[in-house]
Amino acid sequence: MAQDYFSALRDVVLVISSSLEPRDVLHKITEQTARTMGCKASTIRLLDRSGHFLLPSAAYGLSDAYMRKGAVEVKKSGMDGEVLAGKIMHLKDAAADGRFQYPESAKAEGLVSVLSAPLMVDGRAIGLIRVYSAEEREFSEAEHAFMDAVAAISAVAIENARLHAQLRSNYELMTRHAYQIYED
C-alpha cells in the first residue's frame, strides 16, 4: 500500500513539472489524488485576496451543480477554518457534522466522508485540498501522510505558477517600455 502512495506521489510531481498551466496541473492533481485514495472526488480551493473566501480552483468527480452551490466562507465553515490554521481534518459524515458549510449539498451529491489538508507557503495557508468519499470511512495514517505530502507539493507548485505569471507580466511590461524608449 505504501508503495502505491510513493508511486502516486511521483506521478503528482511529474504532473506538476510537466506544465506551467496552473489549471491543467491542479485538475490533474485532484484527479490523481482522488483515484489514489479510492475517493469519489477531490477539490483544490484557494483563498481569495481578502482571505475570507475559498475559491474553486480545480475539481475532479463533482457535478457542476455542486461546484456552484455557493461561496465557501471561511468564517462559516468550521472545518475550513481549522484546515487553514494548518490542521489536516477528517469528517466521517460531512452532512451530519456542523463544521461543514453545505451539508445538504454534500448529501445530494452523495458525499459522506471528507479529508482536507492545508496548502501552506512560508507558514501561511493559501488554500486547501480535499477528497470526498461516497461512503463513511476512516482515513489511514498513510492516507493522512499522502494528503499532507500532496498538499505541500501542490502549494509549492501553485506559488511557483504565481511567481512565473508575475515574472512573465513584469518581463512584458519591461519589454514594452524598452520598445517605447527605442522608438522615441
Q: What is the pTM of this model?
A: 0.83
Which grid coordinates are listed for 144?
493522512
**What angle, rounded to 10 degrees, do the helices at 2-17 and 22-36 form?**
170
Note down pLDDT in tens along the chain; length 184 residues. 455 888 887 877 777 777 667 788 889 899 999 999 999 999 999 999 999 999 999 999 999 999 988 788 898 888 999 999 999 999 999 999 888 988 899 999 999 999 999 999 999 999 999 999 999 999 999 999 999 999 999 998 888 777 666 676 666 666 665 556 656 5
Q: Which amino acid is at 41?
A: A
- Model pLDDT, residue 16: 73
- Model pLDDT, residue 116: 97
Q: Which amino acid is at 60?
A: Y
Contacts by 178-181 with C-beta closer than 8 Å and gap 24+?
Answer: none
Whether 75 and 85 have beta carbons less than 8 Å apart is answered as no
SS3 for the chain is: CHHHHHHHHHHHHHHHHCCCCHHHHHHHHHHHHHHHCCCCEEEEEEECCCCCEEEEEEEECCCHHHHCCCCEEHHHCHHHHHHHCCCCEEECCHHHCCCCCCHHHHHHHCCCCEEEEEEEECCEEEEEEEEECCCCCCCCHHHHHHHHHHHHHHHHHHHHHHHHHHHHHHHHHHHHHHHHHHHC
- Model pLDDT, residue 5: 80
Whether 62 and 81 have beta carbons less than 8 Å apart is answered as no
- Model pLDDT, residue 10: 85
- Model pLDDT, residue 98: 87
- Model pLDDT, residue 173: 67
